[in-house]
Structure 1
Amino acid sequence: MSDHERPLADRGRMEAAVAGRKLADTGIPVDLALCSTATRTRETWKIAVHELAHRPKTVYEERLYEASPGELISVLNEIPDDAQNVVLIGHNPGVHGLAEVLAGRAEGDTRTRMNDHGFPAAAFAVLTFDGSWKSLEPGVADLIDYWAPTE
């Protein structure tokens, strides 16, 4: 079986549910979910989204699979401005690199925690920035939260 078709392990299913609850606990209403077409990311999102107060529009995007941080930024630059809060469900090392590249600033110890734990399955970072998605570029965001099942 190819990596793209590899299913989520039992541990990943459990961690996806916890990640969904932790994401819900942030209180940030998600407007749009961009999810890789890989089997395990689709499974992760289908489990996690059930924990949110409302189900956002989900777009399955082939370009997220094995994407570099620059490629991920290009995809994010295409998001319509009416989507304020977006969740991206992707893969490492691209997602960790994306968080690092975008975060010009970080609150408290979030950057240290993110670098110490990396981005294991179901981990997430919360970043904010001012401006349109078209203006998203390296260093413009604030890293305000991070969670990993290994924390």
Structure 2
Amino acid sequence: MSVETPRRIVLLRHAKADWPDVADHERPLADRGRADAPIAGRELAATGIAFDLALCSTAARTRETWKLAVSELPQRPRTVYEDRLYDASLGELIAVVNEVSDDVRDLLLIGHNPGTHALADALAGSAEGDALTRMNRSGFPTAAFAVLTVDGSWKSVEHGVATLAEFWTPRRG
């Protein structure tokens, strides 16, 4: 694939987690999270993006979110469980994205806040419509995702290079 081909990165925050007496890395999804994750999966499918690669944190709540969301996609992408996505800083997240092969056009990253929101905000040099305002107003809630488009190679991804094309979050009444 040419590095001139526009790429998409979708940042999905894990669904709502429970707070049992376990280590943070092992926290499972709460009932609401188990309900929201498949909805997020259906919304991801509705974007029409055929992901080439999914990078998922190794935390229990991200793995469970991904298991429930991916079942709603028309095709399962290659999935890599990446330790570095757990509790990652903005710089660490950008470093992980920079390592993605240029054979990948559409990337899905399943992670945590504050890193997911920070990455979306840092990469978004521009936005379509009110997507950036809605993302920043909402604080990037659980099971939300942002779709960003970038030109060039993954190695060139840095602050301000992307366009925030879409921001979706589960509606709460």
Which interval holds the TM-score relative to the shorter structure? over 0.9
Runs of 4+ in 1 over 2 A off after TM superposition: none
Give runs of aligned pairs for residues 1-151 of structure 1, distance below 5 A: 1-150=22-171
Residues 80-115 of structure 1: CA deviation (Å, up to 9, x unaligned): 001110000000000000000000000000001101
Please name the residue that 2:17 is paired with.
none
Greater share of helix residues, 1 or 2? 1
- CA distance in 1 between counterparts of 2:121 and 2:106 reads 19
Residues 10-63 of structure 1: CA deviation (Å, up to 9, x unaligned): 100111000000010011111100000000000000000011110000000000
Letter in 2 for 1:8: L
TM-score, normalising length: structure 2: 0.86
Q: Is the 8 A contact 1:117 1:150 kept in 2?
A: no
CA RMSD of aligned residues (A): 0.8
**How far is the alpha carbon of 1:129 from its aligned partner?**
0.5
Letter in 2 for 1:51: E
- Gaps of at least 5 residues in structure 2 are 1-21
Larger RCO: 1 or 2 (CA < 8 Å, sep 6+): 2
TM-score, normalising length: structure 1: 0.98
Residues 105-143 of structure 1: CA deviation (Å, up to 9, x unaligned): 000000011011122211000000001101111100000
- CA distance in 2 between counterparts of 1:37 and 1:116 reads 28
Letter in 1 for 2:37: A
Q: Is the 8 A contact 1:36 1:89 kept in 2?
A: yes
Letter in 1 for 2:137: D
Q: Is the 8 A contact 1:111 1:143 kept in 2?
A: yes
Q: How many pairs does the alignment contain?
A: 151
- CA distance in 2 between counterparts of 1:88 and 1:119 reads 14
**How far is the alpha carbon of 1:150 from its aligned partner?**
3.6
SS in 2 for 1:51: coil
